[in-house]
Structure 1
Amino acid sequence: MVADKRHVSQHPDPWVGERRLGHIVNRSGGLFLFVETLSQYLMKYPNPKPPLDRLLEGPSEEASIELYKLYLAAIESRVDSEEAESRLIARAVIGVAPHRALCDEAIAAFTGLKLATVSSWVDDLSSLLYRDPTLHGGIRARHISILEYFTGSSCPLDFRVDLKQANTELGTYCLRTMITKLRFNICKLETSYRANSEIEDLSERVQKHIPNILQYSCLYWSNHLCSSVDQASKEVCEYLDTFLRGERVLYWLEVLSVMSRVPAAIGALRNIIACSRIFEEKIINLADDALRFVLAFLNPISTSAPHIYISALPFAPSESSIWKTVCKSFSNVMKVSEGRMTMWPKVAAVWKGHTDHINSIACSPDGLNVVSGSDDMTIRIWDVATGKSVGEPLKGHTSSIQSVAYSPNGRSIISGSADHTIRIWDAATGEPIGEPLKGHTNAILCLAYSPDGRNIVSGCVDTTIRIWNVATGMPTGEPLVGHRQYIRSVAYSPDGLHIVSGSDTIQIWDAATGKLTGEPLTGHHDLVTSVAYSPDGLNIVSGSRDCDIRIWDAVAGV
Structure 2
Amino acid sequence: LTQLAYADGAGIDMTKTCLQGTRTEILAKFKVWVTNTDSNTPRVLWLSGPAGTGKSAIAHSIARWWMEENKGIGSCFCFNRQATTRYERLFTTIARDLAARIPDLKDSLIKLITSEPALSATADVTQQWRKLLQEPLTNLAGGIPEPVVIVIDALDESGEAVSRRHILSILAKDATKLPSNFRILVTSRPLPDIGKVFNSTSDVRLESMDKLPPSSTKRDIQLYISQRLEGVKGFGDREFTRLARKSDGLFEWARLACEHIEFAKDFLTERQRFEQLTHVEGKELLDNMYTMILRSIMGDHPDNSTINRFCSVLRIVLSTLKPLPIDSLTILHSAASQGHNHGDIATVLGRLGSLLSGISNQSMPVRPLHSTFHEFLTNRDRSGLFFVDVQDVNVDLAHACLQVMQQHLCFNICKLESSYVRNSEIADLAERIKNCIKPYLAYSCQFWVDHIRALGFQAGLAGEIKGILLNEKMLFWLEVLALLKLMNMVPSMLSIVASWLQDGHGDVSAAARDGVKFARMIGGVITESTPHLYVSGLAFLPESSILSRHLKAKFPRIARIVFDGAIGWPPLQLSMRGHTGSVNSVVFSPDGKKIASGSSDKSIYIWDAETGLQVGNPLKGCTDWVTSVAFSPDGKRIASGSVDHTIYIWDAETGEQVGNPLTGHSGVVKSVAFSPDGKRIVSGSTETICIWDAETGKGNLLNGHMGGVMSVAFSPDGKRIASSSSDDTIYIWNTETGKHVGKPLKGHTGSVNSVVFSPDGERIASGSSDKTIYIWNAKTGKQVGKPLKGHTNWVRSIAFSPDGKRIASGSSDETVYIWDA
Q: TM-score, normalised by structure 2?
A: 0.49
Of 109, 120, 133, the match for 2:331: 109
Partner residue, 2:614 = 393
Q: Secondary structure at the match of 1:371?
A: strand
Give 1:218 shift.
Answer: 1.0
Residues 372 and 381, structure 1, Cα contact 8 Å, conserved in 2: no
Please tell me whether the aligned partners of residues 181 and 214 of structure 1 are also in contact (alpha carbons under 8 angstroms): yes
CA contact (8 A) 2:543 2:568 kept: yes
Q: Determine which of 568, 576, 582 is the counterpart of 1:356.
A: 582
2:333 corresponds to which letter in structure 1? T
Decide whether aligned partners of structure 1 residues 417 and 543 sit closer, same or farther in structure 2, where only a CA change above 3 A counts: closer
Map residues 89-100 of structure 1 onto 2, 5 A cutoff. Answer: 89-96=313-320, 98=321, 100=322
Letter paired with 1:4: Q
CA distance in 1, matches of 2:594, 2:374: 36
Structure 2 partner of 1:387: none
Q: Is the counterpart of residue 218 in structure 1 residue 445 in structure 2?
A: yes
Matched with 2:89 is none
Give 1:183 shift: 0.9
Residue aligning to 1:200: 427
Instruction: Indicate yes or no: 2:523 matched with 1:320.
Output: no
Matched, 1:163 2:390: yes
The 3 A distance-change label for structure 1 pair 189 and 12 is: closer
1:81 CA drift (Å): 7.0
Counterpart code for 1:93 = V
1:299-318 superposed matches below 5 A: 299-318=524-543
Q: Which runs of 5+ in 1 are unaligned?
A: 384-389, 419-442, 464-482, 510-515, 554-558
1:344 paired with 2:569, answer yes
Q: Which residue of 2 aligns with 1:143?
A: 370
Change (3 A) 1:330 1:160: same
Please say if residues 406 and 414 of structure 1, whose CA atoms lie closer than 8 Å, have aligned partners that are also in contact.
yes
Cα offsets for 1:494-536 (capped at 9, x unmatched): 7xxx965779764486xxxxxx8xx97858459999898988x
What amino acid maps onto 2:612 in structure 1? G
CA 1:279–1:106 in structure 2 vs 1: closer, same or farther (change >3 Å)?
Answer: farther
Paired residue total? 467
% identical equivalent positions: 19
Aligned to 2:511: 286
1:194-273 correspondence runs (5 A): 194-228=421-455, 230-234=456-460, 236-273=461-498
Distance 1:76 1:231, change over 3 A: farther
- C-alpha contact (below 8 Å) 1:232/1:279 kept by paired residues: no
Match of 1:21 among 244, 250, 253: 244
Other structure's SS at 1:393 match: coil
* 1:514-533 matches, cutoff 5 A: 524-525=702-703
Question: In the TM superposition, what whole-angstrom CA distance separates every residue of 1:301-335 from its partner, at most 9, and x where no partner exists?
Answer: 22211100111110101121211112222111111
Q: Is the 8 A contact 1:174 1:217 kept in 2?
A: yes
Q: Unaligned 5+ residue runs, structure 2? A: 1-223, 265-269, 684-689, 726-730, 738-821
Partner of 1:432: none
Provide, for residues 344-393 of structure 1, a one-character-per-residue CA deviation record: whole Å limited to 9, x for no partner: 24688x9986763244523343x5x452233265323335xxxxxx3333
Other structure's SS at 1:333 match: coil
CA contact (8 A) 1:524 1:548 kept: no
Alpha-carbon separation, structure 2, partners of 1:448 and 1:135: 45
Cα separation, 2, equivalents of 1:447 and 1:81: 63
Alignment of 1:357-436 (within 5 A): 357-359=583-585, 361-365=587-591, 367=592, 369-375=593-599, 377=603, 378-382=605-609, 390-394=611-615, 396-397=617-618, 399=620
CA distance in 2: counterparts of 1:414 and 1:78, whole angstroms: 56
Distance 2:418 2:342 in 1: 38
Q: How far 1:160 moved relative to its partner?
A: 3.0
Q: Which amino acid aligns with 2:583?
A: H
Partner of residue 439, structure 1: none
Distance in 2, Cα, partners of 1:459 & 1:279: 51
Structure 2 CA distance, aligned partners of 1:231 and 1:216?
22
Q: 1:231 to 1:197 in 2, by over 3 A?
A: same
Q: Post-superposition shift, 1:404? A: 7.2
Q: Answer with 35-44 or 85-94: which moved more.
A: 35-44
Does residue 550 in structure 1 map to residue 550 in structure 2?
no
Q: 1:176 aligns with which of 403, 409, 434?
A: 403
Higher alpha-carbon Rg: 2
Mark the CA change 1:201 to 1:414 in structure 2 (over 3 Å): closer, same or farther. Answer: farther
Could you tell me which residue of structure 1 aligns to residue 124 of structure 2? none
Mean CA deviation greater in 163-172 or 327-336: 163-172
CA distance in 2, matches of 1:202, 1:446: 44
Equivalent residue of 1:163, what SS? coil
Contact 1:232 1:278 in 2 (8 A): no
Among 450, 459, 470, the alignment partner of 2:658 is: 459
Query: Structure 1 residues 324 and 403, CA, compared in 2 at 3 Å: closer, same or farther?
Result: same
The residue aligned with 2:499 is 274
Deviation at 1:198, TM superposition (A): 1.2
Give distance in 1, aligned partners of 2:660 and 2:407: 59
**Root-mean-square deviation (CA), in Å?**
4.6
Letter of the 1:392 partner, please give it.
L
